[in-house]
Amino acid sequence: MITSFRIVKNILSLFLVVAFSVTAIANTATDKCVVHLDKSFYVTGEIVWYQLYLTQAFKAKPVAIRATVLDANGLVQHSSFLKTTGGTAIDGYYKIPFNLKSGNYLLQFSGINKANKQTVLLVETQLPIYNDLEGIAKTVNNKNNLEQPVIKTDNELNISIQLPKNTFNPREKVAPTITVKNKAGNTVAANISVSVVDWDLVGDDLMNAGNMRSGAAVNPQVTSIISDKLYLKGVAKQDKGSAHAGKVLGAYSRTEDKVLYTRTNENGEFYLAIPEFYGDRGFQILGQQEDYEQIRITEENQLAINRLQALPTNDRIATYLGLSRQRKKIFQRYSSVESNLVTEKYTTTRKTIKPDVSFITKEYEDFEFMSIFFKENLTPLRFELQDSTYIAKMYNPKNQSAYDKFFKGKPLVIVDDIVTRNGDFLARMRMTDVEKVELFYDLKKLNKQYKLFGSNGVTKITTYDKIESLPVFEANNVITVNGVQKEAAFPAFDPAQINNNRFQPFFRPQVYWNADLTTKKDGKASFGYFQTDDRSTFQIRVVAQSEDGSIGYQTINYTVK
């Protein structure tokens, strides 16, 4: 197996390097944000690892940075938030879906202006991504080849990388030492990101300058306007297409079981700051009955981008993609994956209010539909049939002194964490599908949990088989937000992980990534990793940012035989 794969590796080393036109690192990086990618191009199923270096103006000023992946049309493919705690270096990742189409994508890092809610672009970089499961025969006929431009970059730091030797064996541990000095020759404290790649496969790199990109100069005052809050943005329209302008909206957090407030502007656009969380959450946007209930919500899913260069393809790239499929088959053969992503687990809390009345429906199996159950049982929830359509209404039985004890509007109905005011849908639900019914009519408790959207009472329905979507208008207005990105470590190779099968080979073009290294005033940092089974030339790439914001980079090559 290993011998045959060496032949594959030799063919892969003939991969023709292609290049993208890029913006060179500025002469002085202290006023620009810089992003360092782990390697120059990617294949579907791999993970993009990156380190974002902010300017010194961000020091001691926590901000929320949104990392967004866009396609060539500016459509958002993925986004998540990075929260700083006042530092100027923060790392993250993007797991590329296996079904993503080949293309040149864009990774943007931006903040949100606290005053006008407009996006503030900090830095962006191209992501060349190839899908090795599509169009291989077609790409052979595309002879697109780009010459690599000569890009001059200034190095603001002196970085040295020391290795105990220049040649290593497969599965041997490599332990480099890094020393960072300023231009005056003095050692300095610095944040460091390190990448180790199979240079025969991915070099010369498509991005040049250590896979680094700098953005436009950042005005130091920008840091004072960028928010530290997570957020969602979108547009609300009425069903005829006109803007739902200047209206209050609710955002029902399905995870927290509570409603947040926001308001649209004259164009129907809305912005909502949301509490910090990890992973993803769904927010259902609700219109007020008094304003306009049947609204249509569109998430902010397109951002302005400069025209992306077409993804270069040629016969040798097609060969590389075909061999990449073979490598995936090896991992599949041994029931593993090439890029395994394991994230930290975070617990979520859900503070719900106690219902005023609850029913376990298995005790009422004789009733076929919900409308019959509530008709035969005297409860605060009632249904009125108007023109063959049921209208739900609710009252507070404690409010005996009121002239009309029924609430004026429709109650809020929450079915498996999806909100609707469709009383007809609720009335026609079969009792055998419903596990539990909870009624809420205490306005003091309702206002705390659901604001004004619960002022006409709330009914919660829990079904036996959770309903993912409802045949109601409001169910289409759910926006899923990826919150703060969960922490994850690069899955570095360890021979112990395959000791149970000594015949299992382990190949990977990306050997190591670490964005958590720092030096103290002595300017030194050490780390270690194990080589894979690849016989090749490898390159260690180091990018560093000193305390004064200076950026530097260095590389060193070594051989594995």
Q: Give pLDDT tens digits for 450-461.
A: 988 999 999 999
Nearest to 410 by CA among 309, 287, 522, 316: 287
On the question of pLDDT at 51 being above 90, the answer is: yes
pLDDT (tens digit, 9 = 90+) per residue, 180-205?
999 999 999 999 999 999 888 777 65
Query: How many angstroms separate the CA atoms of 60 and 43, rounded?
Result: 37
pLDDT at 87: 93
Q: Which range has the worst mean pLDDT, 37-51, 184-198, 349-363, 510-524?
A: 349-363
Which comes out higher in pLDDT, residue 294 or 499?
294
pLDDT at 206: 57
pLDDT (tens digit, 9 = 90+) per residue, 82-107?
999 999 999 999 999 989 998 899 99
Query: How many angstroms separate the CA atoms of 480 and 494, rounded?
Result: 36
Place of tokens 């960028």: 226
Q: What pTM does this model have? A: 0.84
On the question of pLDDT at 369 being above 70, the answer is: yes
User: In Å, how far from its chain's centre is CA 88?
Assistant: 20
Nearest to 33 by CA among 104, 106, 112, 120: 120
On the question of pLDDT at 22 being above 60, the answer is: no
Query: How many angstroms separate the CA atoms of 227 and 340, rounded?
Result: 33
On the question of pLDDT at 219 being above 50, the answer is: yes
pLDDT at 337: 61
Q: Place 330 in a pLDDT band, splitting at 50, 70 and 90.
A: low
User: What is the chain's mean pLDDT, rounded?
Assistant: 83
| Mean pLDDT calculated for residue range 394-414 | 79
| Mean pLDDT calculated for residue range 303-310 | 75
Q: What share of the chain is helix, strand, coil (3-state, %, to 5)?
A: 15, 40, 45
Which residues lie across from 250 on neighbouring strands? 261, 286
Which comes out higher in pLDDT, residue 44 or 15?
44
Query: How many angstroms separate the CA atoms of 294 and 244, rounded?
Result: 10
Neighbours of 306 (CB within 10 A): 9
3-state class (DSSP) for residue 346: coil
Query: How many angstroms separate the CA atoms of 237 and 306, rounded?
Result: 28
On the question of pLDDT at 440 being above 70, the answer is: yes
Counting residues of the chain whose pLDDT is more than 90, the rounded percentage is: 45
Place of tokens 């169910």: 475
Polymer length of the chain = 561
Query: How many angstroms separate the CA atoms of 525 and 547, rounded?
Result: 15
Q: Kindly list the structural domains of the chain, giving each domain's residue range(s) and its CATH number in brackets, ordered by start.
A: 2-224+304-345+486-560 (2.60.40.1940), 357-476 (2.170.130.10)
C-alpha angle 269/272/275, rounded to 5°? 165
pLDDT at 208: 54
